[in-house]
Amino acid sequence: MSARFASIHDAMASGETLVMGHRGAMASAPMNTMAAFELALEQGADGIELDVQRSSDGHAVILHDFSVDATTDGSGAVADKSLPELQDLDAGGWFSSDYTGERIPTLEQVFASLGDRTLFNIEIKSGGAGSGLVEEQVAACIRRFSVANRVVISSFDPYVLLNIRLLMPKIMIGFLYDPKPPSKYLIPLKKLSHEARHPRHDMVDEAYMCWARENDYYVNTWTVKDAERALELRELGVNAIIADDPEMLVDAFSS
């Protein structure tokens, strides 16, 4: 199976509201695992959102938290562990015994398995001990698998996005934020050339969408947990909705 759209730009400009699985289909499978990503695609998602950090030995690994405590059977900081140490952990049993033995994937493994099958919203995590170098690993991996046209890079940290813009001038970038981004981000944000805004969904209304269109931003919003709100956002014209349960949105949009 290949993606419905040839590129992320085609998808965003299609006039459709895309469905993106938040950390895969995290309502039904352990977040940020291959099982969750595969399930999101089975449920009809147009793309997957995932979180990337750097292991101690320089690999781009897929985890949300800066420690492994909440989503594995291990403990400690992600940035203090090598890839073999991370992949020795059980990343599925905490969610359900059905997923015992699920492993922490690398970005390379995700692209190798899904690179031509879906779109990717890659959130680069900022603030952990491994911050600052992960952008280089992400850019190198995107180039290796030739998937730049399928990727939007997002982060709450505009400094991360400025680094990505230098490394990959043509990649799509989305600034991820909630209603009160830190004031220290205002200056770098003004310097950042980016194509998309990724606001929390309760920030999005008709006035916001008018502002975004006037400034030529795509709008990809998070995290939507009910079908009624998803339909409201589609009516407003958002480009993509990130959801824990992509199947719920797919069903709502097809009814």
Check if 198 is active-site: no
* Structure confidence at residue 196 as a pLDDT band (50, 70, 90): very high
pTM over 0.85: yes
| pLDDT the model gives residue 185 | 93
Give the tens place of pLDDT for each residue, 141-183.
999 999 999 999 999 999 999 999 999 999 999 999 999 999 9
CB 227 within 8 A of CB 255: no
Q: Which entry of 9, 59, 64, 201 is annotated as an active-site residue?
A: 64
Give the tens place of pLDDT for each residue, 52-64.
999 999 999 999 9
Check if 64 is active-site: yes
* Structure confidence at residue 12 as a pLDDT band (50, 70, 90): very high
Q: Which domains does the chain have, with CATH numbers?
A: 8-67+108-254 (3.20.20.190)
- d(Cα 81, Cα 83) in Å, to the nearest integer? 7
Task: Please determine, for residue 131, whether its predicted confidence score (pLDDT) is greater than 90.
Answer: no
Q: Which one has a higher pLDDT value, 190 or 2?
A: 190
CB 220 within 8 A of CB 190: no
* Structure confidence at residue 15 as a pLDDT band (50, 70, 90): very high
Mean pLDDT of the chain: 96
Average confidence (pLDDT) over 104-126:
97
The stretches of the chain forming alpha helices (DSSP H) are 8-12, 34-42, 83-87, 107-114, 134-145, 158-167, 186-191, 206-214, 227-236, 246-254
Task: Please determine, for residue 126, whether its predicted confidence score (pLDDT) is greater than 90.
Answer: no
